[in-house]
Amino acid sequence: MQENTPSGLPFMKMHGLGNDFVVIDARGPVTAVAPDLARAIADRHRGVGFDQLATIHTAKDADLHLVFWNADGSQSAACGNATRCIAAWEMARTGKPALDITTERGRLAARGAGNGLVAVNMGQPQLRWDEIPLAREMDTLTLPIEGGPTATGMGNPHCSFFVDNVSAIDIESFGAAHEHHPLYPERTNVQVAQVTGPDRIRMRVWERGAGLTLASGSSSCAVAVAAARRGLTGRAVSIDLDGGTLHIDWREDGVWMTGPTAHVFDGVWRL
């Protein structure tokens, strides 16, 4: 990536399992991203299109710092698949086998996992109502919402419904209806999940500020944690999403997410 040119703003298009991103390397004199610019770039008809936009910044005590924007111009503290994509690109660029990354979520470790896969430690899940956050004190394992979903924080809030048949749920209307539930003052990502084996889950996801996505890293982590808490699976599971499969392992040091990444193309946004 190069600094701003008179003709525009350089960017990269990446995706993890179809969960797609615009990435701007802001470690030089580039145009600052603001909500209006994020929304313009996100427009899939008049712009580039993305589920999230990520900007890369220098960090005093880490390899890099990441900031995330949703398609509606709002910000998010976490984006697992974008973190993996950027880590893959930065490791290839620098030759480093592992990276230390800071985000609003906290400090994340990333490393190559072989066979083109990248693993990121997304940190420990937030399980208390005030950490997620929810509107009032309650048991986060089973919320007082029809369907009894589980609430989990992964730097952003999640609402996970476990169902008998994912295909029977109209995820677009279901997700849109629950994204703004009054129990979630900061809105929420919504997942519908079907346990298909002792270590396997089929999941679809509606992301706050983005809508229906083919995959979501933080949502996959949240569903894996929720399933383990409910005794539905062990702590290491494969999550089958519309765009492919992520492997989640809730360990003592955090929730590790492993999967493929893709750097699709480089472009310039005309300012």
Bridge-based pairing state of the strands 236-241 and 211-213: unpaired
Q: How far apart are CA 21 and CA 261, in angstroms?
A: 11
Cβ 201 vs Cβ 240: under 8 Å: yes
pLDDT of residue 5: 59
Q: How far apart are CA 133 and CA 136, in angstroms?
A: 9
> Which SS3 state, helix, strand or coil, does residue 34 take?
coil
pLDDT of residue 6: 54
Q: HSE of 69 in the Cβ direction (CA atoms, 13 Å)?
A: 23
> Which SS3 state, helix, strand or coil, does residue 173 take?
helix
pLDDT of residue 4: 61
pLDDT of residue 271: 77
Angle at 256 between CA 208 and CA 162, to 5 degrees: 50
| CA 50 to each of CA 115, 150, 200: distance values in angstroms, whole numbers, following the listed order | 26, 28, 28
pLDDT of residue 48: 97
The pTM of the full predicted model, rounded to 2 decimals, is 0.92
**Closest listed residue to residue 240, CA positions, set 215, 260, 218, 206:** 215
pLDDT of residue 75: 93
- Digits of tens for pLDDT over the chain (271 positions)? 455 655 789 999 999 999 999 999 999 877 789 999 999 999 999 999 999 999 999 998 999 999 999 999 999 998 999 999 999 999 999 999 999 999 998 999 999 999 999 999 999 999 999 999 999 999 999 999 999 999 999 999 999 999 999 999 999 999 999 999 999 999 999 999 999 999 999 999 999 999 999 999 999 999 999 999 999 999 999 999 999 999 999 999 999 999 999 999 999 998 7
Q: How far apart are CA 241 and CA 116, in angstroms?
A: 19
